[in-house]
Structure 1
């Protein structure tokens, strides 16, 4: 089949949002005609939709290497840069387009919007330097937050989360109502203090006959979170859960998701666990919707408080010393031990390299060894890397999340590396199932439950995202 025919077939799969098939066909076309910048540009766009920002960046750069006048190449590369938080580089690409096509209104708009983001980031960075030593939590005055007479929502009992409060809160949220700001702030303050007491690697003991559930990304899909509880039971002393990062962003009910998860953490400390994901970070929240949602439903001050709380989320958990659970994956070095993970100073924004970065961002790959990340952050690691890590640390297997899977989960690396993703029909477009894993303490053998997405109110994903995203397509 000729390259042009393959491209046309790939384009059809792209329109159907079957991006993996589109990428495979664009790749075949490139193997036939590697000098066509459009093929690289199209594959870059498909990688963007798959959130493989590193690959998208590589393809867009290759397209521009072949043809410096290929305008879509600049657009694609700028989108990849924006998604990776490299705002200045994105601005440079948009600036190139506006200079090349001064009459192009679309290019001018993209440039102006990107410029706003860069200015905002620089301003916030300057403020952060000035206020680095100040704790937002310390400035919160709960007593000044008067509960109005007409407020009929859930109320903390003596300042504490109770089971009846959680039942009321879930019902309240299904009615698309808001928790009073006084209680919302109290939960955040209590969460910060609780999380500060935890290590970066939390050990989880599970008794032989005890059931334990691991869930992956939720991404603000509140009604799908409730479906997990319908299928598997509400959290409780005898129904323990670990949610493995990326609770917020993308989906537009992230506030509801995070307060339900925080509420259960406070209600059942040591029985309900949360790991940090790559989206529990300031840059991600600024771009992918959580910051905008918190500002819309509460205040800018609460955004800052969330950042403080997220900084204390543990980075990984170890079940019975035999199963390590982290959001992203493994490391660029072979000699990493569990003790090394326990020693990580996590109270900060995720760095661009090192153990903390790789725990949050890395992905498995089928081939041996290591490779640069398809995301542009972290690494890709093969089955040999996983096997050596397990042997060094006396582990049975690892569980991670971070990637959409058609069935909601994937068993890779000969059973050594399991991916679980719990947000079905991700962003209302991907058509994937969601899944969770159940183990018992006796054998820790993973059992998988999969499910379809459930209906939600007519609020689209990314409704609160930075306006620059509406221009990417």
Structure 2
């Protein structure tokens, strides 16, 4: 059907039925099915702004921000008075860190509804973020300004005599980590002096690492790869219960997105950093797209650290996240990275090794693709559903592995119903370790174990109970748009 063909009454009726069915799937949090049904409605009647607006909302729920942006824009082309279209488009742009564009849409809503307090609130909140980012960029060019780690005097920090938690007066030990896990399990906060010590210690370790780290699996040991944790501390504890605590004989790699969304991100990152400091050669961490300043402002980590500690610690985390490696090679045969492969065909492992990672993630290039890209079913490449990175097909994976003498790509970055998914003829595995993501997705979590033969085995698990602190508790108020 072309854009000028009239829509029959029968098609309009069928389209409305599809939309109503999609709405029911959406209410039940079956977002992929809802997207398919909204698409059916659009195919029958592409003239209705609400169909695009609703599908845009479903895309937002699945973190397909690029697709959500396209649909919201189409809805507004069909109906410039469709207020939800402006909200959807603003949310899409915010999720991709494009706050100035989001601000324009909030301004449009404010003009259309000058007495709407909610519209004014969202405009003010977005404007505050735009101003804050502009200020931070201005001071960033000051070459005389010290890095956060250089301005800390941890030894002078006093510890109140009433503090009964773990103390770190020397090197991190297994005993300290055991005490720390028990302390935080009971929703108690590690004293800021010791939190700062952990972060500063792990910073030195990350700084000495290359952007691509080579990892050897010991002869008699398994090696465990975990995907996104996203602040779900109690599910992280469950991983350790199922698979054993990290040790020299039980090595791990956590593949990015430690923080944001879940409301125990501080506990997660202090746990992971503590084990990295304790076992620097047997506990590995990769950077995810959420180990970045823009994501942390929006999705809760910044707010959580400010609530539990201070803005000074937020700045230190931002500095240290920049030193996280971007990828690992396991046993010389498996590339593990958070997002995926590249827009260009000629990327070699040495190109990854040469990446200067001490910065915020760029919007293009090797570093961007490693953090943001996703696999797709069809050969070739497509524009990213997220609006950042690329989507790469089975032939892209096969070609990359062949040129670099590898056998497998393990990546994370996407919720999967069973916690993992094997694709690209067995050459690309997604692992996601945050079950019932954001307390609403109903997915299982998974981790991968590898032995010397590098054959992956999967452990799947359900979410465990956690204290009554909702996901996104500390996120920007703007993300009330997604509720």
Give the TM-score band, short-chain normalised: over 0.9
> Equivalents in 2 of 1:206, 1:399: separation in Å?
16
Name the structure 1 match of 2:120: 108
Q: Residue 45 and residue 471 in structure 1: after superposition, are their counterparts in 2 closer, same or farther (change >3 A)?
A: closer
* Counterpart check, 1:123 vs 2:135: yes
- How far apart are residue 140 of structure 1 and its match? 0.7
> Equivalents in 1 of 2:143, 2:469: separation in Å?
35
> Equivalents in 2 of 1:87, 1:46: separation in Å?
21
Name the structure 1 match of 2:172: 161
Name the structure 2 match of 1:305: 316
> Equivalents in 2 of 1:207, 1:241: separation in Å?
12
Name the structure 1 match of 2:10: none
Deviation sequence 1:285-317 (CA, Å, 0-9, x none): 111110111111111111111011100000000
* Counterpart check, 1:195 vs 2:198: no
* Counterpart check, 1:228 vs 2:239: yes
* Counterpart check, 1:63 vs 2:75: yes
State whether residues 87 and 481 of structure 2, in contact with CA within 8 Å, keep that contact through their aligned partners in structure 1.
no
Match among 12, 21, 32 for residue 33 of structure 2: 21
SS of 1:57's partner is helix
Name the structure 2 match of 1:78: 90
* Counterpart check, 1:180 vs 2:217: no
Q: Residue 420 and residue 190 in structure 1: after superposition, are their counterparts in 2 closer, same or farther (change >3 A)?
A: same
> Equivalents in 2 of 1:213, 1:278: separation in Å?
21
Name the structure 2 match of 1:385: 396
> Equivalents in 2 of 1:254, 1:105: separation in Å?
31
> Equivalents in 2 of 1:94, 1:269: separation in Å?
46
Match among 292, 295, 313 for residue 303 of structure 2: 292
Q: Which runs of 5+ in 1 are unaligned?
A: none
- How far apart are residue 156 of structure 1 and its match? 1.8
CA RMSD of aligned residues (A): 1.2
Deviation sequence 1:374-405 (CA, Å, 0-9, x none): 00100000001000001001111100000000
> Equivalents in 1 of 2:132, 2:78: separation in Å?
34
> Equivalents in 1 of 2:152, 2:124: separation in Å?
36
- Structure 1 stretch 62-71 or stretch 184-193: which is displaced more? 62-71
Name the structure 2 match of 1:36: 48
Match among 265, 268, 271 for residue 276 of structure 2: 265
- How far apart are residue 183 of structure 1 and its match? 0.8
Deviation sequence 1:152-207 (CA, Å, 0-9, x none): 1111242x110000000000001111111111111111111111110000000113
Between the two proteins, the alignment pairs up a number of residues equal to 471
* Counterpart check, 1:319 vs 2:330: yes
Q: Note the 1:400-411 alignment, pairs <5 A.
A: 400-411=411-422
TM-score (norm 2): 0.96
> Equivalents in 1 of 2:354, 2:128: separation in Å?
38
> Equivalents in 2 of 1:278, 1:190: separation in Å?
23
Deviation sequence 1:250-303 (CA, Å, 0-9, x none): 001000000110011011111000000000000001111101111111111111
* Counterpart check, 1:6 vs 2:37: no
- How far apart are residue 472 of structure 1 and its match? 4.4
